[in-house]
Each structure stands twice: as structure tokens, then as C-alpha cells.
Structure 1
Amino acid sequence: MIFKERFWSGITIAVLLLSGIFEMNAQELVVYKITDDIQKSMHNNDFSVKVRKPGGEWKDLFEYGVKVDQVVGSGHSVQKASMAYFDFSGTVEVSVTSNKGLINKARIRPLSYGIEPKIKGNTLSFSLSNPANLSVEINDDIFHNLHLFANPIETNVPNPKDPNVIYFGPGIHEISNQKLKVASNKTVYLAGGAVLKGQIVVDSVSNVNIIGRGMVDQETKLGIRIAHSQNVNVEDLFASQCFTGESDGVKIKNVKTISFYGWGDGMNVMASSNVLFDGVFVRSSDDCTTVYGTRMEYAGSCKNITMQNSTLWADVGHPILIGTHGNSKNPDVLENLKYINLDILDQKEMQVDYQGCMAINVGDNNMAKNVLFENIRVEDFREGQLLNLRVFYNTKYCTAPGLGIENVVFRNINYNGKNANLSIIAGYDEQRKIKNVTFENLMINGILISDEMKGKPKWYKTADMARFFVGEHVEGVSFK
């Protein structure tokens, strides 16, 4: 069951009905009541979360338990964090109570949002005027935090009686064989308060929608899999992973993924074209998002892949990785890749070969070219490198070195922190180079890194000022 409360400002509903005028500034708040089966099996009592319109009645949110991956030494330890969600327009007030005790300090990330909570005893509060995917962290604990997803008001609810709609209402839904295979021209809808136990498979079909405020159970590896398909739209859901292989025309919007198991990549793309990620949140137990060529059953190059307005958190591995896998015998090209307006919250990776918040590591005779990283804010990750660009031969995963990396732009990159290791830019040999890498407005701890920057000794490379190592077989690196 869905509980909705609407608030209209400056005019009564009666007048609205009589006039036939819909006020575009309507204030709405939607919270979702939870069925008994979810209440008994999925609750985490670390927090009590409430939300309201300013001055209105507080509405309780359900606090789901979600698993995250904590790296301890070279091993992995699964921890239980929390998650809650609601929909709204206008402005809301949020109250978060820590049931573990006093709040000595707190932060709400991404830090770029500038949300400063008010703290009183074991409760913090803050206001929101725009939808946001947030991490609420108490006393520096990032593994037992609250993931709070404040969604826009839902506008595309399908008719449950439509024969082309597969509708899941509130409650837990078991699927035979643990796989829901979706046919062409179908819409899968998971209502708020719904949990689907099983993988959603979109394979060799077209014109499919997977939407709603519900969840694909986090225990389901590769919770949403899109393969060999065209014109697929995924919006607003929660899952462990969302994969795209050998597909064209895929849109993934406001989807949230959190994984906790080994090789738990968040949003992979393999051998696909025209893929858009917009407003997604990814916390992963391996790479957050990848772009590869040929791998497994998926064959071909990648073209026109965009991720924008999103938040990435790698508990291990890379936030962004491009290029490792391809077809050595029939080389793939990975081109026209864009990463725009992102917040990178963390990276934790001890292995130097797998570091880099923004990494282009081409193997298998792959060529990566025309790549843009723009308006990216990187917070002080635990361990890793800001960037890693290499033409390499990783014999564990590749059958040949990469072919090259060309035409990469880093524009308006801002890193604040002290934990970054030395970043690396390195080609392979004279036939397998890195060419034309441009940095525009690179800010590191408040310092603008440029070829004309003040205080740089004339005999230094500009890259030295950024703590970047530029190795051999690299040409055309500039800082503007």
C-alpha cells in the first residue's frame, strides 16, 4: 500500500478543481508503507528516519538493511548498512536518529551538495529542496551509514491491468528459476515497497521499460542484465548491479546499485553503443562502472557511452575503468565516452595495477579515443590514484597489449585530499602510445595546475606539480 500526502500552497484544492488549473509549484511528499514480510526480514534498526513538509506532520521511513564490502588488509568483510527512500517536490525536512548513541559529528555526502546537518543529541536534521542520492555518516562510520535516496515525484506509473505491464505491488515476490525474462514491448514495474527476489533479464528483445521505486533483492547478483537488446529504459529502481552487453539505445536513470560480494561491479558496459547513465548512484564491491569491448558472449566495440549527474563509490576497485577487455584478433575501438558532473566519494585498492579513480587501461589491442572527463569532484578516497592512463599487457586478463589511447580531455577536475598515490600516464612502446591528453582547470587541494602556474620551477614538468608520473611513449600532454 502507498501512503501519499499532498500539500498545495496558496490555493485550495476546490479552487483548483473548479478552475481546472494545475499549479506547477505543488508540494508533494510520498512515503511507502511496508508489508509485514519485508518488516520482519529486511529491517535495520541502526537509524530511525523521518521526513515532513516544513511545519507538517512527520512521516516515518522504513530503514532497509543493505550489505556493503569493507576491505580489511587483503580480505573482505561484509558489513550491514542502512537504506531508506521517499519521493518529494518542493522542500522537505529530514530527521535521522542514531539508535546506537550520541552523534559526535556527522557528514552528508556528496560534500559538493553543501548539506550541513544540525545535531542535537543522537539526532541530526537537514532540509532538501532537490532530489538527491545521499550518504549520511555518523561518527566517521562509512560502513554502517544511511543511504538516503530522495527521489522526484513519480509520473510514469503504468496501469496494472495493461497486458503489456508486468506489475509487482508492495511485498516480497519470489520468481521461479530466479529469473524474470522480459519480452519485447513490455514494461516491468516495481512499486514502492516491492522487493523482487530474482534477476531481471532483458535478452534479445527491444522496446522494454523497467521502472518503479521498488527493489531487486540485493542478494541477486547481476540484478538487472541487458543483453543483445535495443531501446531499453531502466529508471529509479534499486539493485545490486545493472549490466549492459552488446546492446544499443540503453537509458539508465536514477538507478541505485549497492553490491557487497566478490566481482560486484556496479554498471558494466560491454560491446554496446548509445548508452546513457543519468543520475545514478553506485556503491560497489568492485569497479563502479566499466567500458569494455569484446568479453564473454558479447562481441564488438563501444561507442557513445555517457555517464552524467551521478555518484560513484568504490569500496574496492575503480570508480571508472575503461579498456581492459577486447578482441586481440579483431581489435575493438572504445570511442566517444563522456563522464560529466560526477562526485567520486571513495576508492580503496591496495594493488597498484588496479588503482585510479579515473582509469583508462587498454589491453587486448583495444584503442580508446575521444574520452571526456568533465566537472568531476573527487573526495579524499582511502587508497588509490586520482587517475591512471596506461597502454598495458595484463597477462592475467588480456591476450595482447592495448593498441593506444588518444584524445583524452580532463576538464574542471577537483580533488581535495591527502591519500592519493602517484598517478600514472604511460604508453607501451613506440607503436602503442598515449597521445594528446589535455588537462583544463585541474584543481588539486585548491591549487590550479597549469603550464603557466606560479611557483613552478622552469625545470619541472607541470605533471610533477600534480604528482603525476608521465612515462615513456606518451606525447602531447598539456595543462591549461
Structure 2
Amino acid sequence: MKWFTALFTMAVMISLPIFTMLNAAETVRIYPAPSGVPLSSTFTAQADGRDVPVYVTTVLSEKPEERQKSAKNNMLTSFASFDMRSGVRVTVRSSTAVTSAKILPTSSGIQPVISGRQIEFTISKPGQIALELNDDWQNTIQIFANPFETNIPRSDDPNVIYFGPGVHQVESVKVTNGQMVYIAGGAVVYGNFTPKKSAGGAVFALEGNNITLRGRGIIDGSQCPGHTRSLITAHGKNIAVEGITLCDSSGWSFPIRGCDHVAVDNIKLFGWRPNADGIDICGSRSVTVSNCYIRTWDDLIVIKSINPADGDARDITVGHCVLWNEVAHALSLGAEMRKPVSNIVFRDCDVIRDKGREWVLRVYHCDAADISGVVFENIRIEEARRLFSLWIGKAVWSKDKAYGRIDDVIFRNITVTAERPRIEFQGIDDEHMVRHVQFSNVIINGKALTPDLVRQNDYVSDVTYDGVDGETLRPKKEAKLVTTLGFEPEDTPKWTLGFGAKPSDEAPMFGKASLLADTSGTAGEWFEFFYSDPQALPLTPGETYTVHFKYKALDKKNPKARLYFLARSAAGKAPDQGWTELDIEPGTSGRKTVTFTLEDGKDYRLIFGLHFQGKVQLDDVRIFTGQIKDKALQ
């Protein structure tokens, strides 16, 4: 916090604004909503007896099976915001009957009192909370209690781009060296979009040094079609963003790219559309994110090194944030990590909801960089479907052909409530491992974490549990062969052939026949040519499998063509596992071993496919339960 205060003060001073004096007698400051902006029909709110506007914004559907189709299945959530100087008595009234109420995060210690349809409670210090009624996690109002603003700039300051109370329409505002953007409380700035004229970019593009964006207003991207622009982008040095609320981005909400010395404090962020990440810190150094509330469809706060030109990512601290995880990751690194990532700290955060298909805390390494010095500490997780993951592999986001490494990760002072906690660690080979992982005071459902809860393959080493070597505690499970498929005429059918695939006895790689897949003369991008039958080859939820196969590349009509493998739930209710891509430069051949652990779905099937146009042979597919090193299969 000392670093943030210094940086924010420096950014404000450099912009040389003329400041407006405050009323020192005020204890609560409320900003009236501008005319025409939609307000909640479900909730009303008061702070110390004064009406507070309750806004609405879009979030995902309450039905888990519809969450991957957010364009058609979404709903509104409510939020209210005010500034406070000391303790505030908050009153919320619901349009429906109230039988129970709770306030998240639980660590806030705030106890609501119900009286009919009215709920009252006291907030003693600034922060963000969610009031949930009737044990219905979607029947929620979010309350944002901000600290009082100081040094508010005047609207006539030449160094300030000023948005006063009211509704504003902009396409894209470029902010350069030494400038400040101020969005006053009671201001709603809508980013709009003219096709071809302004595709890409951001509603506010912070490009330069010593830039500040602050206020108590709202930036709203609901008028932009999907994947057209971010709400804020940052590229430069000494950048501070504070106090605002961001709603409905059409893509990444707030990417920070190639930056040094960035401070993000007390922003509130909602996103419901695919790829509507919260804060993406990409190839940046000396970044702090503090006191924020984030609820988005995709990753909430994520660190990447996606563009090698931006350099490495290091010295990044995320702290004191309240997180509602909708679909993807809450606090994570990846997937794109092409330059080193180091000295990353996630500290003192609350994950109040996790409804997603991915992991709460994760290092998801799909490229070739070295990742080291990652700390998750003093984190309270009130719901988790998939808990911790340290994973090296390839995915659709991979850019590098080589694999990377993960080293020195600490999970410390973490409490978790989860029905079925899942933890996975996966390396690739002896040169690309997950190493030196420490668990210290990790409590799951009231009990200390033990090694039997952690699924890991043979390329994970030096894991300790409160100082005890995990290998001395972990029972070993031998791998067992489930089936071998050589595509011989006598093979029992356990697979279905898809587009462009047929058995062939021409130059088989193993036995009498191989599988030939050819998509060379066909338009399209993704071709599943071969997949298992879940009835003939059932795969057990929670089981670890190893799949080994031989392949040979015969033709490559598209330079992007790849052979791929994965395990996928037919109904799409569980995440893909084991994603692997291989180049198919004509004449190349080899063996591949893939190890993965299945999730809840009982309908997983194994899939081979071609991405774009090409021609390959496949043979000697062997499936094992458990883990088996590639050397044992040669």
C-alpha cells in the first residue's frame, strides 16, 4: 500500500490539476443517478437514511448448463455505490419476501438484521460486499463503500479530461503523457462503436507516462458488439487507475500491456460476455492491484507474457480483492507465457463465489517460459469447484512449440470450503517439470490438506506439506493397460470414425493396418476424425489416464495445420483435459504420451482431430489408467 500511495500521488501531482475543495462536515457522499440510466426494480438502498441509486448490469444466467452460452443466457445484477468517512448504517429493501440474508465475504464480519423485506447492517470501513438473500446466490445486491475522494480536479483544468455527472457517449479516448481522466460520481460514460471506423482499441486508451484515470463514475461497454473493444487499456509508465466502476466489456475489460509501475485501486468490474476478462497484466513490471471487486465471465485477474516484445512479467502484487468467479479462473497465471514470469504475489483476497469450469488458483503454462516465485497467501475461498492447478502443456492459446517450467510456488494460510476439492499438478517430461511446491496451513473444510487430495504425474517433484516431503506420504498407484488399438480387422470397435478417416493397410506403422485421416481437400478449420465410444470404452470420473500413440505426417495443405488430441465431455458440462497439438510437417513421425485426470463428467470421450487441412497416419493407440513415463513405452 505504501508503494501504491506514492505512485498514485506522483501520478496526480505530475498531471498538475486544479483541485476542488470538499465539505469536511460530510460523512457520507451519495451521487444521484443520471436521467435515463436503468436502475434496479428489485432493490432500493439507503446509507445513513439517504437514498442511494441502485444500478443494474448484466451477468451470467443462474443455470449452470447455460453458462457457456452467455450471449443468450444472462440476467441483471444490482449494485450501489457511495463514499464514506466513518461507520455507515445501510438499509436495503427487497421487492420480494426475505427469509434469510448473508453478507459476503464472511471475513467482513458484517451481520445483517432482517425486518420484513428490509435488511439493515453497518459498514465500518470502505470495501466491497455482496448481500445475498434467501440462499439464492443470484438474488444479490453488491454494495461498494468507497473512501472519500481527495484532491478532486476542477472541470476547467487543461490537464484533465473531465466527465461530469450525466450521460456521455464516446468512441475511443486516447490519453497521453501527463493527463488525467476524471469521471465524476453520477457520470456514466458509454463506449460506442462504429464498424470499420474504430474497430479494436479501447474506450479509454492510456498510452504514455504519468497518466491517471480516476473518479466514482461508471464506464459502460454495453453498446459495443462482441470482441470490438476493451473499456480501458494501459501501455506506458507510472499509470494509476482508481475508484471507477466498469461494466459490460465486449472483450478483455482492462488489459495492462508492456507497462512499468502501475497502480490499480478500488475499481469495481462486471463482465458477462465471452473473453470478458477482468484485469489482464501482460508483460508488465511493478504492478499492484488492490481493494477491487471483480465478477466476470472469463479470468478475473490474470498475469501473462503473451507478447515477447513487451518483455517479462515480474514484481506484481494483487491484494485485498473480493472475487466472484463466473466461468474461468479467479487468480491465475497463463495461458500465454512466452517470457519469464517471476515474483508474483496474490495476497489477502476473498473468493466469495466460484461457479466456473476452471480453477480458482492456477498456473496454466501453455508456452515455453520459466515461471518462478509465485505466492498465494492469506486467501479465503468460500466456494470452489476446482481448487488449485499447476499445469504445463499445450492448448489452443499456445504460441511456442517448446514447453516451459514451473518452479517455487507457495500456497500459504488458505482456507477453503468445497464439496469435492480438486487439486492437480502436471509436468511434461524430465526437462519441463513442476518443482518446489510448498503447502503451509492450507485448510480445506476444516482439515489440513493432505497429499491424497493432490493428483500429480511423474513430472512433479519436491512438494511439501507443512514441511513434510509429500513423496513420503503419497501412496503410489501402478499404471494398468486398459486397451490397445492397432486398427486391425479383428479389433473390437471402441471408436467412431469421423470426417476423412479410414483404416488403411498401406505402409502400416504397427501391425497390419493404420488409421489414415485426410482433410486436404476440404474447407473448414476443425475436423474430429476419430473418437472413442463412451459406452464401449467408459472413462471413470476422477481417474488419471495415460494415452500413448504413434503418428506420421503425410501432407500439410495449410501452414497452420496440426494434429490434436483431447478428452472432452460430450455434453460439455466438464472441462476438456489433455489437450495436445503436434505439427504435421510432411515426413515427420513420432510417438506421443499424454497424461491427464478427468473431472465430473461421466460421458468423456477421447478425440483425435486435424486443425485445418492435412493428412496423417495414426497407430498403436494405448490407454492406461494411472501415470506412466514415456520412456517405458518406447
Report the TM-score, using the length of structure 2 for normalisation: 0.64
Aligned match for 1:162, one of 157, 162, 172? 157
- Structure 1 residue 413: deviation in Å? 0.7
User: Which structure's CA Rg is the greater one?
Assistant: 2
Q: Which amino acid aligns with 2:246?
A: A
Q: Is 2:239–2:263's contact at 8 Å kept on the other side of the alignment?
A: yes
Q: Secondary structure at the match of 1:324?
A: strand
Q: Give me the whole-angstrom Cα distance separating, in 2, the residues matched to 1:322 and 1:287.
A: 10
Aligned match for 1:277, one of 245, 267, 289? 289
Matched, 1:394 2:401: no
- Structure 1 residue 144: deviation in Å? 4.0
- Structure 1 residue 323: deviation in Å? 2.6
Q: Is 2:392–2:427's contact at 8 Å kept on the other side of the alignment?
A: yes
**Identical positions, percent:** 28
Q: Give me the whole-angstrom Cα distance separating, in 2, the residues matched to 1:340 and 1:150.
A: 21
Q: Which amino acid aligns with 2:213?
A: I
**Could you give the per-residue CA deviations for residues 357-396 of structure 1, whole angstroms, max 9, x where no partner exists?**
1000112102210011110000123xx3110111112245
Aligned match for 1:59, one of 50, 53, 57? 50
Aligned to 2:349: 342
Q: Give me the whole-angstrom Cα distance separating, in 1, the residues matched to 2:117 and 2:47.
A: 16
Q: Secondary structure at the match of 1:265?
A: coil
Q: Is 1:80–1:143's contact at 8 Å kept on the other side of the alignment?
A: no
Q: Is 1:217–1:223's contact at 8 Å kept on the other side of the alignment?
A: yes
- Structure 1 residue 470: deviation in Å? 2.4
Aligned to 2:208: 205
Q: 1:419 to 1:123 in 2, by over 3 A?
A: farther
Q: Is 1:324–1:398's contact at 8 Å kept on the other side of the alignment?
A: no
- Structure 1 residue 398: deviation in Å? 4.2
- Structure 1 residue 312: deviation in Å? 1.4
Aligned to 1:140: 135
Residues 291-370 of structure 1: pairs in structure 2 closer than 5 A: 291-295=303-307, 299-327=310-338, 332-350=339-357, 355-370=358-373
**Could you give the per-residue CA deviations for residues 450-480 of structure 1, whole angstroms, max 9, x where no partner exists?**
xxxxxxxxxxxx311xx21122111110011
- Structure 1 residue 233: deviation in Å? 0.3
- Structure 1 residue 36: deviation in Å? 1.9
Aligned to 1:474: 460
Q: Is 1:380–1:419's contact at 8 Å kept on the other side of the alignment?
A: no
Aligned to 1:80: 76
Q: 1:298 to 1:135 in 2, by over 3 A?
A: farther
Q: Is 2:174–2:207's contact at 8 Å kept on the other side of the alignment?
A: no
Residues 175-214 of structure 1: pairs in structure 2 closer than 5 A: 175=170, 178-198=171-191, 199-214=202-217
Aligned to 2:451: 463
Q: Give me the whole-angstrom Cα distance separating, in 2, the residues matched to 1:373 and 1:396.
A: 24
Matched, 1:442 2:454: no
Q: Secondary structure at the match of 1:394?
A: coil
Q: Is 1:391–1:401's contact at 8 Å kept on the other side of the alignment?
A: no
Paired residue total: 420
Q: 1:402 to 1:116 in 2, by over 3 A?
A: farther
Q: Give me the whole-angstrom Cα distance separating, in 1, the residues matched to 2:334 and 2:403.
A: 8
**Could you give the per-residue CA deviations for residues 84-114 of structure 1, whole angstroms, max 9, x where no partner exists?**
1001111110111101x21011111111112
Q: 1:304 to 1:396 in 2, by over 3 A?
A: closer
Q: Give me the whole-angstrom Cα distance separating, in 1, the residues matched to 2:363 and 2:46.
A: 42
Matched, 1:226 2:234: yes
Q: Which amino acid aligns with 1:346?
A: R
**Could you give the per-residue CA deviations for residues 102-148 of structure 1, whole angstroms, max 9, x where no partner exists?**
10111111111121100111111100111111111111333342111
Q: Give me the whole-angstrom Cα distance separating, in 1, the residues matched to 2:458 and 2:333.
A: 21
Q: Which amino acid aligns with 1:137?
A: E
Q: Which amino acid aligns with 1:106?
A: A
Q: Give me the whole-angstrom Cα distance separating, in 1, the residues matched to 2:184 and 2:210.
A: 20
Aligned to 1:238: 245
Q: 1:63 to 1:302 in 2, by over 3 A?
A: same
Q: 1:298 to 1:75 in 2, by over 3 A?
A: farther
Aligned to 1:112: 107
Q: Give me the whole-angstrom Cα distance separating, in 2, the residues matched to 1:201 and 1:280.
A: 19
Q: 1:402 to 1:254 in 2, by over 3 A?
A: farther
Q: Which amino acid aligns with 1:230?
A: K
Q: 1:263 to 1:300 in 2, by over 3 A?
A: same
Q: Which runs of 5+ in 2 are unaligned?
A: 1-21, 192-201, 248-252, 467-634
Q: Is 1:250–1:276's contact at 8 Å kept on the other side of the alignment?
A: yes
Q: Give me the whole-angstrom Cα distance separating, in 2, the residues matched to 1:23 and 1:294.
A: 46
Q: Which amino acid aligns with 2:448?
A: L
Q: Tell me which moved more, 363-372 or 215-224.
A: 215-224
Q: Give me the whole-angstrom Cα distance separating, in 2, the residues matched to 1:395 and 1:212.
A: 38
Aligned to 1:11: none
Aligned match for 1:69, one of 54, 60, 63? 60
Q: Give me the whole-angstrom Cα distance separating, in 2, the residues matched to 1:84 and 1:473.
A: 48
